[in-house]
Amino acid sequence: MKGNVYSYKTKTKGQLWGYVHDAPTPTKKRNQIRKTGFATEKEASAAMRKSMIDYDAGKLELSDMKVADVIQVYLDYAKNEGKRAKGTIANYEGVYKNHLHVLKDKSVKNIKQVEIQDWKRELYNQGVSDNVFNCCVKLLKVSFNYAIELELLQINPFRRLKAEKIPKKHRNRFSIEELQELFNICFSEFKEYYCLFALSVMTGMRVGEYIALQTSDINFSTNVISVSKQLTRGDRHKPKTLSSVRDVDISDELVNILKWHIDTFNIKDGDFLFRADEGGLLYQKWVERKFKRLLILAGFDENYCRVHDLRGQYVDLMHYLDVGIEYISKQVGHSDSKITSNSYSEILKCMPVKVNKALDRLLFNKFSFDTLSSYG
């Protein structure tokens, strides 16, 4: 960090001294801090050295804002500009309300690292999980980084605060026979969810993606579903990443199931494929509750796995069929194939096969849709 002391003349006080030193920020590499009015060069030099030390230690701020003020600026931006999904904002507001009260009224200018560590210690003494703590860390960092971007602040006092590493949880998977049994039970007990369940297992789409589907998103002549929206807490919006906007290839059997669903439940052109019992939009929690009931009927514990885990089930099925990781990554909407392999499977095989034909044979060799529908 560079700095220098300089002199200047005034009409009333004669010669005075000032200093200037670099104060780089994420948005301005050449941002500088200046102060004038010192009687001697020695005073100016001493003040500059203290300013540089304070800046490096994270104590110097251009504002007297409180932590709560900084967070509120970011939350208003995220909500009004649509920069975060409703679920993310709800999570942020929850940890802000319930877990940041010790920090809310702290002055950004004077907050000390020991106070931040005391807050962390108190949180864990209260029994919060690593996931909750990590959500707090993320909110603090994005809020203060946004304030720096707006030039409200110079540095982020929470920049040294690190999220906890959470061990990767083991996610249960179904055998092929168990999947076939789940298909049978679902068709018998929850026909209105049969197509939804099939989409989960046979496309790897996210819950929010397939409950946002409309008939216009399906091209039956090319066996493709266009994913351009997702549904979160009743809000249909664009997916959070560009890679999530994609065309998903589907099998002939899944095409038949989709046609059967549209015909059986009288889905009109342009309608949502799935609706709640009362006719309203389908919420993810309702899908999760129905899936728990399906698990119980099939003899599993209701917490054996989550609906979202069916996405991983699809990835593992693709690996089992020797499908290339790049194709799998495209299907599930990941920007990088490493995300797919790291998130869902340790098996990395890349032999090309006729994916959807093989998937049909794998899942429906015992229970074929041909016995339920005349669609061909």
- Domain harbouring 102, CATH code: 1.10.150
| Contacts by residues 287-296 (CB-CB < 8 Å, ≥ 24 positions apart) | 287/193, 287/196, 287/207, 287/211, 288/207, 290/190, 290/193, 291/197, 293/190, 294/182, 294/185, 294/186, 294/189, 294/190, 294/193, 294/197
Q: Range of 138's domain? A: 67-149
Which tokens sit at 3? Answer: 């700095």
* Same domain membership, residue 207 and residue 110: no
Sole residue written with tokens 């899944």 = 254
Instruction: Report if residue 305 sits inside a domain.
Output: yes
* Same domain membership, residue 119 and residue 37: no
pLDDT < 70 stretches in the chain: 1, 24-31, 56-64, 82-83, 277-279, 339, 341-357, 365-376
Instruction: Report if residue 168 sits inside a domain.
Output: no
Query: Residue 233 has what pLDDT?
Result: 72
**Strand, helix or coil for residue 187:** helix
* Same domain membership, residue 45 and residue 71: no
Instruction: Report if residue 50 sits inside a domain.
Output: yes
Query: Residue 58 has what pLDDT?
Result: 58
Query: Residue 189 has what pLDDT?
Result: 93
Q: Tell me, what DSSP letter sits at residue 170?
A: P
Instruction: Report if residue 162 sits inside a domain.
Output: no
Instruction: Report if residue 165 sits inside a domain.
Output: no
* Same domain membership, residue 353 and residue 278: yes
* Same domain membership, residue 214 and residue 301: yes
CA dihedral 224, 226, 232, 237 (to 10 degrees): -170
Q: How far apart are CA 255 and CA 98, in angstroms?
A: 47
Whole-prediction pTM: 0.62
Query: Residue 347 has what pLDDT?
Result: 40
Please give the order of strands across the beta sheet that includes 14-22. Answer: 3-10, 14-22, 32-38
Q: Tell me, what DSSP letter sits at residue 216?
A: G
Instruction: Report if residue 347 sits inside a domain.
Output: yes
Instruction: Report if residue 116 sits inside a domain.
Output: yes
**Strand, helix or coil for residue 174:** coil
Sorted by sequence, the CB contacts under 8 Å of residue 71 that are 6+ apart come out as 96, 100, 104, 139, 140, 143
* Same domain membership, residue 363 and residue 250: yes
Written as one letter, the residue type at 236 is R
Domain end, chosen from 106, 134, 149, is at 149
Q: What total number of domains does the chain contain?
A: 3
* Same domain membership, residue 330 and residue 208: yes
* Same domain membership, residue 82 and residue 15: no
* Same domain membership, residue 97 and residue 26: no
Which residue, 120, 116, 117, 142, is CA-closest to 133? Answer: 120
Q: How far apart are CA 157 and CA 162, in angstroms?
A: 12
Instruction: Report if residue 133 sits inside a domain.
Output: yes
* Same domain membership, residue 144 and residue 275: no
Domain end, chosen from 149, 167, 188, is at 149
* Same domain membership, residue 314 and residue 250: yes
Sign of CA dihedral 58, 63, 69, 71: negative
* Same domain membership, residue 282 and residue 188: yes
Sole residue written with tokens 């061909």 = 376
Query: Residue 29 has what pLDDT?
Result: 53
